[in-house]
Structure 1
Amino acid sequence: MALAALAGCTDATGPQTPAPAPGPQVTDPLATPPEARPGGVLRAARAQRAADEARDAKRAAESPASQNIRGYYIGVEDMLIARGLLRNDDGRSIPVTPERLAANFIDIALYDEYSRDGAALIAGPNPSRLRRWAQPVRIAVETGASVPPATRIRDRTEVQQFAERLARLTGHDIAATPGRGNFTVLFLNEDERRVIGPRLSAILPGIPAHDIEAIQSLPPQTYCTVFAYSLGASPLYSDAVAIIRAELPPRLRSSCIHEELAQGMGLANDSPKARPSIFNDDEEFGLLTWHDELLLKMLYDPRLRPGMTVETAAEPVKQIAAELLAPDQT
């Protein structure tokens, strides 16, 4: 089996490889729940689990690399908010014409931010094809030991709520799952991410080595990323994995959840012309906007078919955009 990879809009292929042993400690959603054990054993198991988590979290949090980068991201978030960026409103005060919506959709859904020449990433934009999911999407969350229990709960809740929103917008079968999924979201600190390769290979057998390397060596300027995969040359996604830095403060963390999960649905590119939108590197908006909701509706409209090119999609995209922004629809 070959996998075609999209790393924030990058295509690549790689042979199947056997899944190695798990890497850094992450919460195991498939573990036997302690509630199934007898009372005395249950209490002991809970106490032991709490002690293990506290020990592992303390060890992970003490890393100078993780502490330094956490401080860096707190400063970044404070600076962006002070400049009026990372807005958390839906952007409805900003008008969008049908022509602009159609053009933005073409730029974001039918172009790639990067192309791949072997292991090298080449900056785009590069014309591509329309890609999306046909099978149900099941989003699983895994967290490194550095993430405190209360934060894990908040992260899982936010992912679940956003998955429900994606399902409503697209009409597609999308849901969070406590078990194994085909779209895995990993919350990892600096040290956990640098050694996540074995776990990635276990989640996605056949993941290209250069994708693992890209994830393990993310520059500080990259807060999060998503890699979506299809079988061979198919335009239909079969698996995806998103990496979100555990050191991110709340506003940047939520922004990453919104952008990476939405991009993993098939809106793979960014455009400097898209506004109001999270698919724009200007960081003006931190959360999915009303414009972005329309993009998701368009992406899963049955009149658009996976594999369409810029040329074949142009006319139906214009029609759908005009319908979505008709006076009785706004």
Structure 2
Amino acid sequence: MRRAALAILLLAGLAACESSTLAPRKTEVPPHARPSELRPADPESEAPREPSLASHDLEVYYARVQADLLTQGLLRTDGGGPDTPFTDTMLARNFERIALAEEYERGAGLRPSRGELGRVKKWTKPVRVSAEFGALVPEDQRVQDRNMLIQYVNRLNRVTGHPISMTTGAANFHVLFMSEDDKAQIAPRIRQLVPDVSPSALEVFENLPRSIHCLVIAFSENPGGYAYGEAIAVIRSEHPDLLRRSCIHEEVAQGLGLGNDWPEARPSIFNDDDEFALLTTHDEMLLKILYDPRLKPGMDADTARPIVKDLAAQLAGGLGPS
């Protein structure tokens, strides 16, 4: 089954949050003492929670998905080679479709866009990435996923030339590794991170179908703007190792501004055909183009095109057949 990693770029129409008037913030009424038999058990004495049957079923399902893809020769990790040549013209065209077009209508959740070329979207401020885990993600998996994310963030920092780093402090790019049993935590956490998040963003998480393996939401600094100021990626912890790593690669790169998929892009993770699991040489070039200082957030396709063509010629000239 095809992996469906989705990027939702919610750049406009952010709804203001309203405070609830159902309960006062303070009260002068002292609480009654709780009977001793109703006191919560000592945390050390509580039995550890086990994954639910639904989470287990997803784990089995995604393991089967990965096995089937590998059997078909998909989920390649070689980054492309002699069998996947591309020219500078192809690279420039792919950049336009992946970086400028939008897969979903802005501020409309999962409603597909009509595919028109939009504007350049990227970060101008430093990107500070953090990893967060649901309560039922095993500790050994947390260590593995955090290390995978650290290695990838370091690679993106080198590729883009833009300051991108991991942090345990104040972050603006949050990668949430969540199981099915942690799903109820996602919307409240997003609300906490982005208080004025639109309802259409949160709706995506209410009934997340298993066909959506992972996703990212990127927010502009200003409503209707194109310079990113916050991003949140959600990755299912039930994935086997390679699918989780693939989700890290695609969602973080999409959250940097490569937000669309294009079926003709090859070798690339941005085409939904699952041929490649990890960021390819072609995809690195897309990021180099996007983070060239000459491309500014909000630049339209006509203005960006000559710059993109020049950069593509520098990066990919002579790599493929004419």
Q: How does 1:128-277 map to 2 (within 5 A)?
A: 128-230=118-220, 231-277=222-268
- Determine what percentage of the aligned residue pairs are the same residue: 44
Question: How far 1:122 moved relative to its partner?
Answer: 2.9
Report Cα offsets for 1:147-203 as digits up to 9, x if no partner.
111110111111111111111011001001112310000000112124421111111
Cα distance, 1:308 vs structure 2? 1.3
In 1, Cα distance between equivalents of 2:76 and 2:56: 26
- Of structures 1 and 2, the one scoring higher in RCO (CA 8 A, sep 6+) is 2
Alpha-carbon distance, 1:310 to partner: 1.6
For residue 78 of structure 1, the aligned residue among 64, 67, 79 is: 67
Question: Using a 3 Å threshold, how does the CA distance of structure 1 residues 255 and 55 change in structure 2: closer, same or farther?
Answer: farther
In the alignment, which residue of structure 2 is the partner of 1:87?
76
The list of structure 1 runs, each at least 4 consecutive aligned residues, that deviate by more than 6 angstroms after superposition, is none
Query: Which one-letter code corresponds to 1:141 in the other structure?
Result: A
TM-score when scaled to structure 1?
0.83
Distance 1:194 1:227 in 2: 17
Aligned residues: 291
Contact 1:8–1:269, Cα closer than 8 Å, also in 2 = no
Aligned mates of 1:19, 1:292 — CA distance in 2: 43
Residue 86 to residue 118, structure 1, CA distance change in 2 (3 Å): closer
Q: Distance in 2 between matches of 1:55 and 1:109?
A: 48
2:87 matched to which residue of 1?
97
Q: Is the 8 A contact 2:11 2:224 kept in 1?
A: no
Q: 2:290 aligns with which of 287, 299, 305?
A: 299
Shift of 1:99: 0.3
1:120 and 1:92 mapped to 2: Cα distance?
34
Asked whether the equivalents of residues 10 and 107 of structure 2 are also in contact (C-alpha less than 8 Å), the reply is no
Letter in 2 for 1:91: G
Letter of the 1:232 counterpart: P
- Structure 1 residue 128: deviation in Å? 1.3
After TM superposition, the score normalised by the length of structure 2 is 0.85
CA contact (8 A) 1:255 1:287 kept: yes
Q: Please report how far the alpha carbon of residue 281 of structure 1 lies from its aligned counterpart in structure 2 after TM superposition.
A: 0.7
Q: What are the Cα deviations for residues 60-95 of structure 1, in whole angstroms up to 9, with x where unaligned?
A: x1x111111111101100000000011111103221
Q: What root-mean-square deviation, in Å, do the aligned CA atoms of Structure 1 and Structure 2 show?
A: 2.2
Q: CA deviation at 1:117?
A: 7.0
Separation in 1, partners of 2:107, 2:262: 22
- Rate the CA distance shift 1:248–1:104 in 2: closer, same or farther, 3 A: same
Inter-CA distance 7–274: structure 2 relative to 1 (3 Å threshold): closer
Equivalent in the alignment of 1:13: 13
Q: Which amino acid aligns with 1:170?
A: T
Structure of larger gyration radius: 2
User: Distance between the aligned counterparts of 2:263 and 2:303, measured in 1?
Assistant: 24
Name the structure where helix makes up a greater proportion of residues: 1
Structure 2 contact 79–280 (Cα < 8 Å) conserved: yes
Change (3 A) 1:118 1:147: closer
Change in CA separation of 1:295 and 1:151 when aligned onto 2, cut-off 3 Å? same
**Structure 1 regions of 5+ residues with no counterpart?**
1-5, 21-47
Whichever structure has more strand as a proportion of its residues is 1
Query: Which SS does the other structure have where 1:112 is aligned?
Result: coil
For 1:284 and 1:271, the matched residues in 2 are separated by 13
| CA offsets 1:5-47 (integer angstroms, 9 cap, x no match) | x953454422332699xxxxxxxxxxxxxxxxxxxxxxxxxxx
Q: Is the 8 A contact 1:10 1:121 kept in 2?
A: no
The secondary structure found in structure 1 opposite 2:219 is: strand
Instruction: Tell me the distance in 2 between the aligned counterparts of 1:188 and 1:237.
Output: 24
